[in-house]
Structure 1
Amino acid sequence: MSFGENLLSLRKAKGMSQDELGAQLNVSRQTVSKWELDETTPELGKLILLGEYFGVSIDDLVKGQKPASKAESDTFEIEVTKAKNTTCDIIFWVLKIAGIILGGMVLIDVIVMIIYFITNRFPSL
């Protein structure tokens, strides 16, 4: 989706006319029309105002991406972190049990500790 298409979509979603949006930004209706037709693009100051007015980032506004809700991205991040931690814990315990079965060899324990600290970061002091 182009910037113009995105701006048109956002404006219509708010039920605004080009005149009303232009009045909010201190520009003419013709200027808003040119933006929506991708004939011109607004200056940085107007992009900032547009982003704030419509509640989207400038990046989303210019690239035309639908902004993902904060809750969705947070949930995804939590799920990825849980999956990583679960995998690391499984590897840790498998190697630990292998160390115990093999007679408590010190070398296996050292390897387990190294892998654990590499995957989970060293504790901060």
Structure 2
Amino acid sequence: MQVGNQIKKYRDQLHLSQEQLAEKIYVTRQTISNWETNKSYPDIHSLVLLSQIFNVSIDQLVKGDLEMMKYQIEKEEVNKFNKNAVIYGALLLIAVLSLVPLWTYLQAAGIFIWILIYGVAIYYAFQLEKQKKKYDIHTYKEILAFTEGKTLDEIQKNQEIGKRHYQTFLLVVGVGVASFFITYMIAYLLQI
């Protein structure tokens, strides 16, 4: 946290001790010490008083922290996207590989288990699609940049937007072929 360093810097500039500053903003010396060592964070009332005493804006006091919080939120979103992608990929692979064995050994109960696995995979697919819409990422290059916590510059983004229609068409064709194959396998297994 940067606010602790900022408080210490401005306090030193005004030649105030921790105790003197504490008296001015109605807290204990230990509270000032905790802020400066980043053990705790000042509440909004204290931030207002600090900004008045130091004659700086609240933004100047917490700017580094706001950037760090923004970075942390973005990092959490990237991690969430990556986690959902791994879970979806694993479930989809399990669904594809388990269809025949489940049918062979468990028949109707096996198909029910397979439908559950496939249903959970579809749930994670929807979660990924919501995140893709939220962050306007659709093409492979956009998704790859997002998972690495990077962004594309404006020219690259426009190039990727131009590719979206073709990639959507290929995706639809791929899903259609996969659906046909799965339907054919289910029909074949039900006839055995």
TM range (shorter): 0.3 to 0.5
Q: Which has the higher helix share?
A: 2
Normalising by structure 1, report the TM-score. Answer: 0.48
